[in-house]
Structure 1
Amino acid sequence: MALIESVYESAEALNTAFADDIARLLSDAIASRGKASLMVSGGRTPLPLFQALCNADIDWSNVDVSLVDERWVDEQDDASNTKLVKQNLLVGKAAAARFVDMKSAESDAADAVLDCEARLATMSQPFDVLILGMGEDGHTASLFPCSEQLEAGLDMNSGRVCIATQPTTAPHQRMSLTLPAIVSSRNIFLHLTGDKKRDVLNDALANASAAEKPIVAVVNAAQVTLKWAP
């Protein structure tokens, strides 16, 4: 549908402004509906954002937080997005938020899809704020172009909120939100830093199909706000 661009002169300026935007949207959701939901991504890029957001002066006790995707590893593993979020976002004032796990005890993520969907269903939906990242291969969430599960993950008529995926170009089985779950969110952000990621995005939107660069599917199906700094 559309990509709305918000460009900042530095990553620090981006994270300060973005944290303010998120806090405002969550506060508005609480005022309107009594609860708010925040879906975040892992990786290095959002860490300074989490640190800027965690002490925002909002009613965190009425905010539910979960992930757009998770690697199917124990929480103690350094690859765990859950571990990253708990250590960097759910601290300070944000420690009062409720975290909703994607990961569960099943050894195969494919056996946990229905349970994961049931847990996410306890959150305010559509999700109020959803923050995506993007890999240099154009994947977003854990919808990888190399994955056999990509077509199912991009199926807008699947009725599914979650899908188990197995990328061939990255380690670990994953649990991911599906495209319909992502694009039904009230406010969708794509958080990128650096010229290389911006070049990947521009090339994908100009030249690639959704199957080649899954981020294209999101931008084609929803209004997405790009938050970018060099």
Structure 2
Amino acid sequence: MFQSKSMVEFIFQDQEVLVVELANRIGQSLLKSIAAHGRASLAVSGGSTPKPLFKQLSALALPWKDVVITLVDERWVDPSDSASNEQLVRQYLLQNRAAAATFIGLKNSSPTAAQGEAQCDQELCKILPPFTVLVLGMGNDGHTASLFPGSAQLAAATDMNSGKTCMAVTPADAPHERMTLTLPAILNAEGIILHLTGSEKKEVLAKAQEAGPAEEMPVRFVLRQEETPVVVYWAS
């Protein structure tokens, strides 16, 4: 089994305890960055897993006006669409105290993600790197962000010399064209958190730590690198 020297795992039996601990960890990282630089940034993923975390974060007593929030990836749908990660963030994270944060979405008015790539990159440039905290999820196929196995754009999106912050991708087996942060943009973070729940995801993570091409389970690109600390938070 491959075990990156930069990866640490925290295992919880109770998802509610995980959410409190993880929200506090993120909050402390944001506070530290604000104290040092006057600003902080948080990149988050969509899906059902982070909803409780978003709710917990939204209530933290932080100077949210100094925090910029963005997404790790986005489906190329209108923010009013139920499949939109932006809608999820606005509904669950940009509430309560966190409503004062600045949000930069990945979806713009361009008809396709490919056509919107340049504008998306310009918007992301408003967030001075590195990201303070970047929270990833993982699919049962081993994808993370919108780095999907079998995607025609996977090689380009994981090229550490691409110079691109975001890239339009079309998953082979998932709906919607997408915009994703590239691997170099993901790794340009002070810390990466992989947030997982359920026994199935634990099995997928164990498989991802085994030998095999990273292209088969793209989360391996993140797990196998040594430059950015990765912390896994998992609860049953």
Aligned to 2:224: 220
1:115 aligned partner:
119
SS at 1:157 equivalent: coil
Count matched residues. Answer: 230
Equivalent position SS for 1:202: helix
Indicate conservation of the 8 Å contact 1:143/1:214, yes or no: yes
Residue 91 of structure 2 corresponds to 87
Question: What residue in structure 1 maps to residue 43 of structure 2?
Answer: 39
Corresponding position of 2:132: 128
Report what 2:146 is aligned to. Answer: 142
Matching residue of 2:235? 229
Match of 1:78 among 78, 82, 86: 82
- How many angstroms does 1:34 deviate by? 0.5
Match of 1:57 in 2: 61
Contact persistence 1:188–1:223 (CA under 8 A): yes
SS at match of 1:65: strand
Structure 1's consecutive aligned runs of 4 or more residues displaced over 6 angstroms after TM superposition are none
Matched-pair identity in %: 47
Instruction: Give the residue type in structure 2 aligned to 1:158.
Output: S
Q: Measure how far apart 1:111 and its partner are.
A: 1.2
TM-score, with length taken from structure 2: 0.96
Structure 1: 5+ residue runs without aligned partners? none
Q: Contact 1:35–1:124 at 8 Å: present in 2 too?
A: no
1:54 and 1:93 in contact (8 A); partners too: yes
Deviation per CA, 1:10-29: give whole Å up to 9, x if none. 11010000000011100110
- TM-score (structure 1 length as normaliser): 0.98
Is the Cα contact below 8 Å between 1:19 and 1:53 reproduced in 2? Answer: yes
CA contact (8 A) 1:29 1:128 kept: yes
Q: Which residue of 1 aligns with 2:195?
A: 191
d(CA) in 2 for partners of 1:44 and 1:133?
Answer: 10
Cα distance in 2, alignment partners of residues 20 and 38 from structure 1: 14
Q: How far apart, in 2, do the equivalents of 1:203 and 1:101 lie?
A: 32
Structure 2: distance between partners of 1:55 and 1:125? 26
**C-alpha RMSD of the superposition:** 0.8
Matches within 5 A, 1:153-192: 153-192=157-196
**CA offset at residue 124 of structure 1?**
2.9
> What secondary structure, in the 3-state scheme, does the structure 2 residue paired with 1:207 have?
coil
- Find the residue that maps to 1:146 and give its secondary structure: coil
Q: Distance in 1 between matches of 2:92 and 2:14?
A: 21
Residue equivalent to 1:21? 25
